Amino acid sequence: MAKSGLLETCDALCETLTDAEDALTREIVTRLADKWSLWTLSVLAGAAGPMRFSRVMDQVEGISQKSLTKALRQLERDGLVTRKMFAEVPPRVEYAITPIGIEMLEQVAPLWTWAAKSVHRFQAARAKFDGG
């Protein structure tokens, strides 16, 4: 698989990566797009402290238990959130965003902001394309 491309600055860096590293980089960026990961992460970022599973589920509207579990596991595996389990009955589990998770959101914010600002240009392009 070839390196990622993009612009020159980024390109040069990407060329220094092994194939495994390049794949992981792509995977991390890709995670931005899946339906729930980013939203879940941002909910944890917005909280004052750690959150229980069910609190997260309340705030990420529309998510199923299954999808939330999966999203949280992935985020945990990549070091973006922490998971703390308490040996109690009923069980309590607390999730919190990590410094790397916050970094990640800080990287995404400008892109998202740009997209939001550009939304009318995209709408215009689509109207033109769909119309004729």
Partner DNA sequence: CAGTATCCAGATCGATACTG
Partner DNA sequence: CAGTATCGATCTGGATACTG
CA distances from 52 to 2, 72, 83, 113 (A): 41, 12, 9, 29
Residue placing its CB nearer to its own copies in the complex, 65 or 123:
123
Residue placing its CB nearer to DNA in the complex, 13 or 79:
79
Near DNA by CB under 7 A, which window of 13-21, 34-42, 99-107, 108-116?
Answer: 34-42
Q: Which of 4, 59, 67, 98 binds DNA (CB under 7 A)?
A: 67
CA angle 77, 84, 76 (to 5 degrees): 15
Strand partners, 86: 92
Residues 25 and 17: beta-carbon distance below 8 Å: yes
Q: How far is the CB of 91 from its own copies (least distance, A)?
A: 20
Task: For residue 112, give both structure tokens.
Answer: 């998202």
Residue 49 makes contact with DNA by CB under 7 A: no
| Rounded Cα–Cα distance for residues 76 and 58 (Å) | 19
In the complex, the residues that contact its own copies under the rule CB under 8 A are 1-2, 4-7, 9-10, 13-14, 17, 21-22, 24-25, 28-34, 38-39, 42-43, 45-46, 61-62, 76-79, 100, 103-126, 128-130
Residues 38 and 107: beta-carbon distance below 8 Å: no
Q: How far is the CB of 90 from its own copies (least distance, A)?
A: 25
Residue placing its CB nearer to its own copies in the complex, 90 or 110:
110
CA 86 to chain centre: 26
* Contacting residues toward DNA, per CB under 7 A: 34-36, 52-55, 62-67, 69-70, 72, 83, 90-93
